[in-house]
Amino acid sequence: MEAAKLAAQLTQHQKNALETIANQMARPGRGLLAADESVPTLGKRLVAAGLVNDEEMRRAYREVLFSHPDLGEYLSGAILFSETLGQRAVKDAEGRLFPALLQSKGVLPGVKVDLGLEPLDYSARETHTKGMNDLMERCQEFYAQGARFAKWRAVIRIDEAANLPTRACMQINSAELARYAAICQACGLVPIVEPEILIEGAHSAETFARVTEAALSEVYYTLAQAKVFLEGTLLKPQMIMPGVDSPSEGRPRPEEAARRTLEALRRRVPPAVPGVVFLSGGQTEEQATQNLNLINQLAKQPASSLRPSSTTCPWILSFSFGRSLQASVLATWDGKDENYEKAMEVAGALAKANAQAQLGEYQGPHPSVLKGQSLHETNRGWGASARVGGGKGESAAGATATVSPSGETAA
Amino acid sequence: MMGKAPSLVTGLDGFRHVRSPRIQTMANKKLKLCQAMKIFSSLLLASLVTTCSAFVPLNQVLNVTPIKTRGRFTALKMVSRAEKENPYMEELKANARKIGGRGRGILASDESNATTGKRLEAVGVENTEENRRKWRELLYTAPGLGQYISGAIMFDETLYQKTAEGKPFVDVLAEQNIIPGIKVDTGLQNMFGTDGETATQGLDGLGDRCKAYYTQGARFAKWRAVLKVDDRDLPSEKAIWENAHALARYAAIAQENGLVPIVEPEVTLGPGTYSIERTAFISERVNSIVMNWLNRYDVVLDAILLKPNMILPGLDAPIASKEEVAKYTVQVMKRSIPPAVPSIHFLSGGMGEEEATLNLQQLQKEYPDSPWSLTFSYGRALQSSTLKTWSGKQENWKAAQDILVKLAQANSQAQLGQFVEGTHPSPGGGRILQALRLGGAGK
């Protein structure tokens, strides 16, 4: 098949380049900032903060995120939205484009290359991801603009009463991830493979863990059949936790959730993958940091007392946080230039806390200014074509399905 | 392209495309059709890529559950209760870790009566039950063997045998701190319409046999799947699926009955000049398919052992250096075996005794602190010189045991990365080959 042919054509030189980038992205004490929200998704948040959603506002906001001078000590990369690749930092002395600005700090620029979710015809509440049309040409253009890695978000929904996910949904999304990965690698971009399993629902952590294992099995099997060069990829999964609507009694302690996360990853992710970067997916800023910290502390312990020197987790376990690195920044900035310095400091502090968590060395207090506020958003990523079928899991208060006029661009 | 100048069009994602107006119009008209086609072709693509979807029942593929079912809780099909409900689970994981402990490996002494007979006859010993019993007694009572050997795989007959003084072999092994294992497959059978490829038999009644073996004292099992490789056509898709499926089914049944399954997808060293890259490519492919089948059958990877081949070129190609072997072997394992598998026990599969030890040590250098133990499950590489030394003569008994323990020690040192080159007890030995034997090993 096409993806396999592409992958088989990678020269050793190309593979070395991809592996170098992937190892740069996945290294100790560093992680990724996910700043690739589409126009409607970011717009929702700007509007909720009382700001106008126009190109300049989005540009100015991203500038706040990227400007901290020490950012490169905490971030190895930042995922950008395609629009942002071509925007400039006006406060920068040289007025550099964002990719160049990030590179100068030692932060690799990446780009979201998918075009949002679309429901599957035979299973309306399940989705596949759009963006395969002219993906090759777009990736070549992104590379020319300075991007060195890419991201594609596939979504899998658990709904026990409706027998979701279906195996076919997992197969379709895995096939798309494999094809996307092969195309990216042919264009010199390291693909972040993101099979996000939603935390919407009332399922237990155990169910979530088993579905994660099933999904990751499908993903890595498909990547292997497509001969994707695993050493030049990263994985972006969700941390294992019970569904947001599950009862609060019987919820596992954070240590238990961390243990389940490591167990699931160890059972499915081959050592050739250099890094696993977690999405924050609606945890509070503080929870995300604490959970990452726990995971890394646990990962340092040997899996077997009979082999004390063995590596429990041969991949770097780090972060690719969006909301958990940004919510306080947006709140602090509030669109006002006089808050710029303060907001930039908050951005740096959030990144630093998570960098420490990657080393298992995070100590509070957490720099978040939004203690306790959930950052969960339902139906993130659905475009106008979404037949947002009713059903459980959609909280009445938080129904934030994006129905934008342009229809296509969704997170 | 068509006479009209192309225009810069801002695409829906903000990215600027160079599009001719003609193509733009076509694109607009066909957008809806393309979307529908894409969903269909994705489905087709998915079923082409993952051909195992042919096994998914249609009602699961087209799972459109009407809203009426809301309120009636149905267990998620994907979530298995196998792990949770298996009372042996903790014991299985502990045994797997123990067998894969540092500095030790497995003695593969599970040759069927027919295969054992061939070996005995080669040194002038008649193939009788008593001779087979004597030969295994020699192996299992070798003093100090348990320092280097964590598990011994036995054939059915052997599991029930005793020393000349009447002590059961399982007790002898327990005293040596060696866990008894049992071969549970019943041999290879030709797959019709292939170029000599085989399927492994033994699933019928496997559960009951495993129960009996557990009662007798076995704590792990072994099933050998064999795949032939050449430059082009082998192994066939059919052979890979058949062997992967059988391995997965066997592993599930073994775990259900308290036996840690050794999963052995052997890409066998065979004639030809196929390259080491070819073997690596095929082994990686086979491993990833086997892993996927294990996952589909809810086999718990923390409670299996893997027994793969090292990556070698064909018999008629130049012998690869240990550095090359280690490089490709580690690469294949890193790409296909998740860290939860506690231990990887490489088969010797025809390598000479010294070659097997040196290659094993090179693996440790190539990937120190690997998540799984990189160790051995050697048959011929531990027994060949031992058998020759014994040759059925009582006066050679001690010397034969001595060389067995020295060979085990050499491989143990290699596993620790501490073997001193040039000190091998069986230096300079050539390849120890045996043909694939068909027709059922249940004898």
Task: Please tell me if residue B366 touches chain A, with a CB cutoff of 8 Å.
Answer: no
Partner-chain contact A134 B17, CB within 8 Å: yes
How is domain A1-304+312-359 classified at the architecture level of CATH? Alpha-Beta Barrel (3.20)
What are the angstrom distances between the C-alpha of B432 and each of B315, B351, B429? 11, 6, 8
Q: What is the pLDDT of residue B442?
A: 54
Q: What is the pLDDT of residue B34?
A: 55
Gap between the Cα atoms of A180 and A189, Å rounded: 11
Please work out, in degrees rounded to the nearest 5, the angle formed at the alpha carbon of residue A109 by the alpha carbons of A103 and A111.
165
Q: Which of A221, A223, A394 to mutate to test the interface with B (most CBs of B within 10 A)?
A: A221
Retrieve residue B67's tokens: 């809203």
Task: Please tell me if residue A260 touches chain B, with a CB cutoff of 8 Å.
Answer: no
Q: Looking at beta carbons, which residues of chain B come within 8 Å of A39? A: 14
The yes-or-no answer on residue B121 being catalytic is no
Report yes or no: A358 and A30 within 8 Å, Cβ to Cβ. yes
Gap between the Cα atoms of B33 and B38, Å rounded: 8
Gap between the Cα atoms of B172 and B381, Å rounded: 22
Question: What is the pLDDT confidence band of residue A20, given thresholds at 50, 70 and 90?
Answer: very high
Q: Which residue of B has its CA nearest to A391?
A: B67
* pLDDT single digits (tens) A86-125: 999 999 999 999 999 999 999 999 999 999 999 998 898 9
Partner-chain contact A312 B79, CB within 8 Å: no
Nearest to B370 among A161, A310, A406 (CB): A310
* pLDDT single digits (tens) A150-159: 999 999 999 9
Active site residues of A: 194, 236
How far does B395 lie from chain A, in Å, by closest CA?
A: 39
Partner-chain contact B50 A392, CB within 8 Å: no
Task: Please tell me if residue B41 touches chain A, with a CB cutoff of 8 Å.
Answer: no
For the residues A280-297, what does the mean pLDDT come to? 94
Q: What is the pLDDT of residue A407?
A: 32
Partner-chain contact A168 B80, CB within 8 Å: no
Stretches in chain B below the pLDDT threshold 70? 1-79, 439-443
Q: What is the pLDDT of residue A391?
A: 33
Residue by residue, DSSP assigns A71-104 as: GGGTEEEEEE-HHHHT-B-TTSTT--BHHHHHHH
Residue A338 has pLDDT above 80, yes or no: yes
- Judging by beta carbons within 10 Å of its beta carbon (0-12, 13-18, 19+), is residue B126 exposed, middle or buried? exposed
Gap between the Cα atoms of B385 and B348, Å rounded: 14
* Structural domains in chain B, sorted by start: 13-79 (no CATH), 87-439 (3.20.20.70)
Q: What is the pLDDT of residue B71?
A: 33
What's the DSSP call for residue B317?
S
- Tabulate helix, strand, coil % of chain A (nearest 5): 40, 15, 45
Mean pLDDT value across chain A: 90
Nearest to B78 among A214, A220, A407 (CB): A214
Q: What are phi and psi of A368, to 5 degrees?
A: -60, 140
Query: What percentage of chain A carries pLDDT values higher than 90?
Result: 81
Retrieve residue A3's tokens: 């993806």
Task: Please tell me if residue A145 touches chain B, with a CB cutoff of 8 Å.
Answer: no
Report yes or no: A320 and A278 within 8 Å, Cβ to Cβ. yes
Nearest to B339 among A121, A271, A309 (CB): A271
For the residues A290-295, what does the mean pLDDT come to? 97
* pLDDT single digits (tens) A224-277: 999 999 999 999 999 999 999 998 877 888 999 999 999 999 999 999 999 999
* pLDDT single digits (tens) A60-92: 999 999 999 999 999 999 999 999 999 999 999
Gap between the Cα atoms of A74 and A350, Å rounded: 9
Strands A234-235 and A190-197: parallel
The CB density around residue B360, as the number of other CB atoms within 10 Å, is: 31
Tokens 């995971």 correspond to what residue? A295
Partner-chain contact B14 A230, CB within 8 Å: no
Retrieve residue A404's tokens: 């934008």
* pLDDT single digits (tens) B266-290: 999 999 999 999 999 999 999 999 9
Gap between the Cα atoms of A357 and A349, Å rounded: 12
Partner-chain contact B46 A310, CB within 8 Å: no
Partner-chain contact B14 A163, CB within 8 Å: no
The CB density around residue B35, as the number of other CB atoms within 10 Å, is: 15
Give A154's strand partners.
A195
Please tell me whether residue B352 adopts helix, strand or coil conformation. Answer: coil
Task: Please tell me if residue A345 touches chain B, with a CB cutoff of 8 Å.
Answer: no
Task: Please tell me if residue B162 touches chain A, with a CB cutoff of 8 Å.
Answer: no
Partner-chain contact A224 B336, CB within 8 Å: yes
Report yes or no: A61 and A230 within 8 Å, Cβ to Cβ. no
Between A210 and A394, residue with greater pLDDT: A210
Q: Which of A163, A208, A408, A409 to mutate to test the interface with B (most CBs of B within 10 A)?
A: A163
Which residue spans within A36-183 are E strands per DSSP?
75-80, 108-112, 117-120, 123-129, 149-156
Gap between the Cα atoms of A29 and B312, Å rounded: 39
> Is this complex scored with an ipTM above 0.85?
yes
* pLDDT single digits (tens) A130-177: 999 999 999 999 999 999 999 999 999 999 999 999 999 999 999 999
Q: What is the pLDDT of residue A167?
A: 92
Q: What is the pLDDT of residue B56?
A: 44
Q: Please, which residues 402-431 of chain B have a Cβ atom closer than 8 Å to chain A? A: none
Question: What is the pLDDT confidence band of residue A302, given thresholds at 50, 70 and 90?
Answer: confident
Task: Please tell me if residue B6 touches chain A, with a CB cutoff of 8 Å.
Answer: no
Q: Please, which residues 5-44 of chain A have a Cβ atom closer than 8 Å to chain B? A: 39
Task: Please tell me if residue B165 touches chain A, with a CB cutoff of 8 Å.
Answer: no
Please tell me whether residue B19 adopts helix, strand or coil conformation. Answer: strand
B222: nearest Cα among B114, B377, B396: B377
Q: What is the pLDDT of residue A250?
A: 74
Please tell me whether residue B190 adopts helix, strand or coil conformation. Answer: strand
